[in-house]
């Protein structure tokens, strides 16, 4: 007995052989695909809102995209990994550049495969969108390593702190501005640059977003005169002042001031164990 022929448009989606229409939608998908799986929705949730700090929505976008069986397998995998790489870029600016390179490389491979299959007619869908995303992933991967991504800073943490203190004294520290958003995110819109009476400092090595150029964050703390310790035994600081130091040029950027809130007892919230990383500020 021979099996009945497959009805038109009912390809085996479980094997990733759905044939898409030229506009990028598989047969019947525009009517059957819910709005929360649309390209526009995924771009907003997995792209724009991630930049705004809503990282949980990025994870939701990954799940929605990876589970959308109306799309070809390569575009699902490549798109999901690309969203994760985007989240990685905005959540962990100090992480290893090799991790970002690996994620972007995987995304580029699968998106490129999707574009080739579509152009060859294996999947009836527009090939330009996945090809463009694959190209963006390749460029981002290369820019994350070349020319500064795997270089080390030209000075250590103590020297970075000294550069910040010197810049505070001679006024050479540049104030952060809105144009710095790709690097510093929400801190770029800081408008309070009143200097503090620095007593302690905390220095953390990091890397710039996208290029992975080495840098340091130097946070200066002002001691609360009325309260010495927080409830969990950490020092009580009434205000902080954050600076970034470019690891190659030594340029200092003032990222602004943060004051403790009354509801926090006049103490800045600190991670447990921060006191072990603090150093006294030495006058220049």
In angstroms, the CA 243 to CA 255 distance is: 5
| DSSP codes, 195-237 | -----EEEEEEEE-TTT--EEEEEEEEEEPSS--B-TTS-B-E
Residue 140 region by backbone torsions, left for phi larger than 0, else alpha for psi between -120 and 50, else beta: alpha
Count CB neighbours of 88 within 10 A: 17
In angstroms, the CA 180 to CA 189 distance is: 9
In angstroms, the CA 218 to CA 225 distance is: 22
pLDDT value of position 232:
81
Closest CA to 138 of 113, 114, 93, 103: 103
Q: Give 237's strand partners.
A: 223
In angstroms, the CA 249 to CA 267 distance is: 34
pLDDT value of position 147:
93
Residue 158 region by backbone torsions, left for phi larger than 0, else alpha for psi between -120 and 50, else beta: alpha
pLDDT value of position 57:
95
Cα 191–chain centre separation: 23
**Could you read off the pLDDT of 70-127 as tens digits, one per residue?**
899 999 999 999 999 999 888 866 668 899 999 999 999 999 999 999 999 998 888 9
pLDDT value of position 203:
96
Cα 33–chain centre separation: 29
Closest CA to 183 of 123, 244, 224: 244
pLDDT value of position 28:
42
pLDDT value of position 98:
92
* 252-259 β-sheet, strand order: 174-175, 252-259, 237-246, 214-223, 200-207, 279-280
Residues lower than pLDDT 70 in the chain:
1-32, 92-95, 283-284
Cβ partners under 8 Å of residue 97, min gap 6: 144, 145, 149, 150, 207, 212
The CA R_g of the chain, rounded to the nearest whole Å, is 25
pLDDT value of position 94:
60
Cβ partners under 8 Å of residue 58, min gap 6: 45, 46, 49, 50, 83, 84, 86, 87
Q: Give 242's strand partners.
A: 219, 256
For 204, list phi and psi in degrees, rounded to 5.
Answer: -130, 130
């Amino acid at each position: 007995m021979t099996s009945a022929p497959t009805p038109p448009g009912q390809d085996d989606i479980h094997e990733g052989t759905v044939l898409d229409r030229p506009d990028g939608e598989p047969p019947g998908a525009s009517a059957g695909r819910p709005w929360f799986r649309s390209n526009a929705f995924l771009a907003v949730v997995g792209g724009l809102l991630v930049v705004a700090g809503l990282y949980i929505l990025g994870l939701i976008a990954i799940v929605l995209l990876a589970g959308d069986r109306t799309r070809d397998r390569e575009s699902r995998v490549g798109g999901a990994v690309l969203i994760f790489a985007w989240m990685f870029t905005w959540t962990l600016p100090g992480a290893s550049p090799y991790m970002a390179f690996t994620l972007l490389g995987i995304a580029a491979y699968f998106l490129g495969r999707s574009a080739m299959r579509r152009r060859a007619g294996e999947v009836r869908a527009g090939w330009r969108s996945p090809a463009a995303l694959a190209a963006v992933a390749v460029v981002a991967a290369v820019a994350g390593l070349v020319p500064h991504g795997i270089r080390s800073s030209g000075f250590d943490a103590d020297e970075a702190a000294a550069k910040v203190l010197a810049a505070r004294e001679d006024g050479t520290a540049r104030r952060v501005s809105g144009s710095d958003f790709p690097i510093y995110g929400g801190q770029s819109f800081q408008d309070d640059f009143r200097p503090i009476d620095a007593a302690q400092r905390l220095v953390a090595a990091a890397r710039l977003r996208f290029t992975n150029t080495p840098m340091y964050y130097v946070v200066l703390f002002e001691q609360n005169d009325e309260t010495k310790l927080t409830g969990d035994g950490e020092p009580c600081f009434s205000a902080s002042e954050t600076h970034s130091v470019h690891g190659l040029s030594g340029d200092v950027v003032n990222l602004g001031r943060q004051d403790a809130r009354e509801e926090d007892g006049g103490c800045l919230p600190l991670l447990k164990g921060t006191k072990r990383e603090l150093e006294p500020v030495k006058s220049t």
